[in-house]
Amino acid sequence: MSRSSPLPARTDLRRRLLLTYGGFGIVAIAACLAAPLVGSTRISLAHAFSRSAPFADNVDAQIFFLARLPRVLAAAIIGASLAVSGAVFQALLRNPLASPDTLGVSGGAALGAMVAITFHIDVTLFGVPSIPAASFLGSLGALAIVYVLATARRRGLSSTTLLLAGVALNAFFSALVLFVQYFADFAETFRSVRWLMGSLDVAGYTPIVAVIPLLALSAAGFATLPRALDLLSLGGDAAAVRGVNVRRTERVALLSASLATGASVSIAGPISFVGIVVPHLVRLIVGADHRLVLPASALAGAALLVGCDVAARTLFSPLEIPVGVITALVGAPFFLYLLMRRS
Amino acid sequence: MLRAADVSFSYEAAPVLHRVSFVVSPGRIVGLLGPNGSGKTTLLRIMAGTLSPRSGSVQIDEADISTLSRRDVAKRLAVVPQETHSTFDFTVLDIVLMGRYPHLGAFELEGGSDLAIARDALAATGTLALEHRLFATLSGGEKQRVVIAGALAQASHALLLDEPTASLDLGYQLAIAQLLTRLNHDRGTTMLVSTHDLNFAASLCSELVLIRDGRIIAQGATDVVLTVSNVRAVYDVDAEVGYNARAGHVTVIPIARAH
């Protein structure tokens, strides 16, 4: 960490905030601009952005903006949401192994979305289409269970208990997902299995626009959290006696993380390990302060998932493997490494 | 000033505190003594406002704690727990700057004056040289001094300390007692200290509150309250109690469990 220089804290923190937003921002933007250039048809970035021909005649621009950019943006949004949610869960539960997937929150979201898909539920809740809404309700339900478990005893649960509870919840939700699938016909089953692997086969901007209200709400919630999360990492009472409204912070954090996870899962299915790998890597670079960790996680998560999606599209081209397979292949060994290092 | 007025508390049916009243006057150090399960920690949590009493009230500087926001309580009162753990790799300076939380706006960054206050608190606890170290890598005694520095940076006029020396060896116990005495002398910091260590209490506190089974057995000036009969009444222990001229305070030597 760059804390060796005796700069005044204000300048130091400002500088580190600027470096964090600037550095990670450049990486994320570069990933989003470069990723659409990769694919079966070669296109040029300069040509795609050129105004010399009208959009209807500019093939590069059409491929860039209509075929590939929606998918890249979806990857960026999902990567950012899952990474920030992971960072928030880790601080809130004071457990470095917490994440949307290890806690069973992604599983709950997947179940919600599966129910909406399989039974063709098509109602709009407060402007949010049924699949994201159902996905959010699923993640909220799973989190409610985790929260009750974590706060049932006065001193909270141990890491092991929380993770085992996550394993049990995941198994439970998987069973329910299979149960729901049983009612689906052949074509639906094929689609839902693909979806459950975590796939970014996004066409057009519609799925992204659909989740914007959820994401806007969760972003507003996340923005209020960083300093309170720093203090909460010392414990609930320790944060309270330093002036943190613990209950409000917990509610805002859990609700925002449910919204973000639900929104991501509704687009691409449960994509695992982004929520655990990214915050850990980010902390190695920016340190522990959540005013740096949260924005850095969002930007790094976006860049990482965009990169993984490029790999998923190109590694076995023309075959396309689900991006969830890539993140799990990278993330699972990393998770085991963290587990070993802790014990 | 810190006052408990007729405080009672129970977990479900089990009574923990029964009509406890005492006052910590400004600039005083009051010790809270009692056996395990006597209600000390519960009482401290109620005094800190993190737990609400079933009946009775707690006042800080004449204001009822239940009418104050967490932020306003934190500006007047800081708490030093038995042990502090950080889940993430915060530095010593980070931990102390967290004490500035109640004084800053929601999106305000710590400024130069906050840093000056934090450094001043580190210097007062003899930990300025540690400021860039990771908190998790410190020894128990160093951690405790850093947490006390954070408490000073937060609200320098009243501290609640919950068994601050329980996990420390003899040398660190004395160092913490000296540090608290000096802070009280130099800054006039008011303190309420719970402890199991009667000699630590005798060296530090001008007044004691003795509780057992959630009731006050005795309270008053340390050399008046710390007697053979009170030690027996609170702990069921026979002890020798006498003034030690070299220590400069009353000392207690436990002899045997009383029958």
Please report the ipTM that was assigned to this predicted complex. 0.92
Q: How far is A219 from chain B (nearest CA, A)?
A: 15
Report phi then psi at B221, rounded to 5: -60, 140
Q: What is the pTM of this model?
A: 0.88
Query: Which of A237, A243, A283 shows the shortest C-beta gap to B88?
Result: A283
Mutate to test the interface with B, among A10, A21, A94, A241 (most CBs of B within 10 A): A241
Is A241 within 8 Å of B74 when comparing Cβ atoms?
Answer: yes
Query: Which of B50, B104, B112 shows the shortest C-beta gap to A240?
Result: B50
Looking at beta carbons, which residues of chain A come within 8 Å of B114? 9
Alpha helices in A182-289 (DSSP H): 186-196, 206-223, 226-232, 236-240, 246-268, 274-286
Q: How far is B80 from chain A (nearest CA, A)?
A: 9
Is B115 within 8 Å of A9 when comparing Cβ atoms?
Answer: yes
Looking at beta carbons, which residues of chain B come within 8 Å of A233? 86-88, 90
What the block records as the tokens of B80 is 């030093």
Q: Rounded to whole angstroms, what are the CA distances from B113 to A10, A180, B13, B104?
A: 9, 60, 49, 11
Nearest CA in chain A to B153: A242
Looking at beta carbons, which residues of chain A come within 8 Å of B93? 3, 9
- CB-based contacts of B15-22 (< 8 A; 24+ apart in sequence): B15/B214, B16/B42, B16/B214, B17/B42, B17/B43, B17/B46, B17/B53, B17/B214, B18/B213, B18/B214, B18/B215, B19/B56, B19/B215, B20/B56, B20/B211, B20/B214, B20/B215, B20/B216, B21/B56, B21/B216, B22/B209, B22/B216, B22/B219
Q: How far is A241 from chain B (nearest CA, A)?
A: 6
Distance (Å, rounded) from C-alpha A80 to C-alpha A102?
Answer: 17
What the block records as the tokens of A15 is 């500088």
Give the end-to-end CA distance of chain A in Å, rounded to a whole number: 24
Looking at beta carbons, which residues of chain B come within 8 Å of A235? 81, 84-85
Average pLDDT estimate for B101-106: 92
**CB under 8 Å to B77, separation ≥6 — which residues?**
A241, B2, B48, B49, B60, B155, B158, B159, B160
**Which pLDDT does position A152 carry in this prediction?**
67
Is A231 within 8 Å of B114 when comparing Cβ atoms?
Answer: no
**Which pLDDT does position B49 carry in this prediction?**
93
**Which pLDDT does position A4 carry in this prediction?**
43
343 residues of chain A, pLDDT tens digit each: 344 444 445 458 888 999 999 999 999 999 999 999 988 788 888 888 888 888 888 888 888 888 889 999 999 999 999 999 999 999 988 888 888 888 888 889 889 888 888 887 777 766 667 788 888 888 888 888 887 877 665 555 566 677 788 888 888 998 998 888 888 888 778 777 777 877 787 778 888 888 898 899 999 999 999 999 999 999 889 999 999 999 899 889 988 998 899 888 888 888 888 999 999 999 989 999 999 999 999 999 999 999 999 999 888 878 888 888 899 888 888 888 877 876 5
Is B81 within 8 Å of A238 when comparing Cβ atoms?
Answer: yes
Looking at beta carbons, which residues of chain A come within 8 Å of B115? 8-10
Q: Is the CB of residue A60 less than 8 Å from the CB of residue A48?
A: yes
Looking at beta carbons, which residues of chain A come within 8 Å of B111? 9-10
Question: How much of chain B exceeds pLDDT 90, in percent?
Answer: 82
Is B74 within 8 Å of A243 when comparing Cβ atoms?
Answer: yes
Distance (Å, rounded) from C-alpha B97 to C-alpha B154?
Answer: 8
Query: Which of A227, A234, A245 shows the shortest C-beta gap to B86?
Result: A234
Residues B41-81 have pLDDT tens digits of 999 999 999 999 999 999 999 899 999 999 999 999 999 99
Is B78 within 8 Å of A241 when comparing Cβ atoms?
Answer: yes
**Residue A255: how many CB atoms within 10 A of its CB?**
16
Looking at beta carbons, which residues of chain A come within 8 Å of B118? 9
Mutate to test the interface with B, among A242, A246, A289, A341 (most CBs of B within 10 A): A242
**Residue A74: how many CB atoms within 10 A of its CB?**
24
Looking at beta carbons, which residues of chain B come within 8 Å of A288? 86, 88-90, 94
Give B5's pLDDT tier (boundaries 50, 70, 90).
very high
3-state secondary structure chain B: CEEEEEEEEEECCEEEEEEEEEEECCCCEEEEECCCCCCHHHHHHHHHCCCCCCEEEEEECCEEHHHCCHHHHHHHCEEECCCCCCCCCCEHHHHHHHHHHHHCCCCCCCCHHHHHHHHHHHHHCCCHHHCCCEHHHCCHHHHHHHHHHHHHHHCCCEEEEECCCCCCCHHHHHHHHHHHHHHHHHHCCEEEEEECCHHHHHHHCCEEEEEECCEEEEEEEHHHHCCHHHHHHHHCEEEEEEEECCCCEEEEEEEEECC
What the block records as the tokens of B6 is 């007729």
Residues A154-186 as b/e (b if ≥16 CB within 10 A, e otherwise) read: eebbebeebbebbeebbebbeebbeebbeebee
Nearest CA in chain A to B159: A241
Is B45 within 8 Å of A244 when comparing Cβ atoms?
Answer: no
**Which pLDDT does position A5 carry in this prediction?**
43
pLDDT over 90 (residue B28)? yes
Looking at beta carbons, which residues of chain A come within 8 Å of B73? 241, 243
**Which pLDDT does position A342 carry in this prediction?**
62
Query: Which of A9, A96, A243 shows the shortest C-beta gap to B114?
Result: A9
Work out how many CB contacts closer than 8 A connect A with B: 106
**Which pLDDT does position A125 carry in this prediction?**
66
Is A3 within 8 Å of B73 when comparing Cβ atoms?
Answer: no
The chain B residues in contact with chain A (CB within 8 A) are 45, 48-50, 69-71, 73-75, 77-79, 81, 84-91, 93-95, 97-99, 101-102, 104, 106, 109-112, 114-115, 118, 132, 154
Report the C-alpha dihedral over residues B148, B149, B153, B156, rounded to 10 degrees. Answer: 50
Looking at beta carbons, which residues of chain B come within 8 Å of A227? 101, 104
**Residue A214: how many CB atoms within 10 A of its CB?**
26
